[in-house]
Amino acid sequence: MSKDVIELMGVVEECFPNTTFSVRITSEEANGHALQCHLAGRMRVHKVRILPGDRVRVEMTPYDLNKGRIIYRFRADQSITERPVKN
């Protein structure tokens, strides 16, 4: 699998069934763009809950710019600029 992904920051606007979300991008590269995103498998395994208003990191492929995958949810006290520690 190729790693040609684009990582962006966004805010969850709406929750849908089957861990699908509407996310509004806040990064400078695509400010205001809306995506349909699903939850990454690692976040499903660890039962991470996503609610409207949460700040998230989204990855998307350059082939379909309307869909993405939520790979990280930021805590309320965490700044967006700091990178999470990967295990």
**What is the rounded distance in angstroms from the CA atom of residue 81 to the CA atom of residue 79?**
6
What are the C-alpha distances in Å from 70 to residues 41, 50, 87?
A: 9, 10, 18
Token code pair at residue 40: 């990454």
Confidence of residue 79 (pLDDT cuts 50, 70, 90): confident
| pTM > 0.95 | no
The 10s digit of each residue's pLDDT in 20-75 is 999 999 988 888 899 999 999 999 999 999 999 999 999 999 999 999 999 999 98
DSSP code string of 50-73: --TT-EEEEEE-SS-TTEEEEEEE
Architecture in CATH of 10-73 = Beta Barrel (2.40)
> How many CB atoms are located within 10 Å of the residue 80 CB?
12
Domain coordinates of the chain in residue numbers? Answer: 10-73
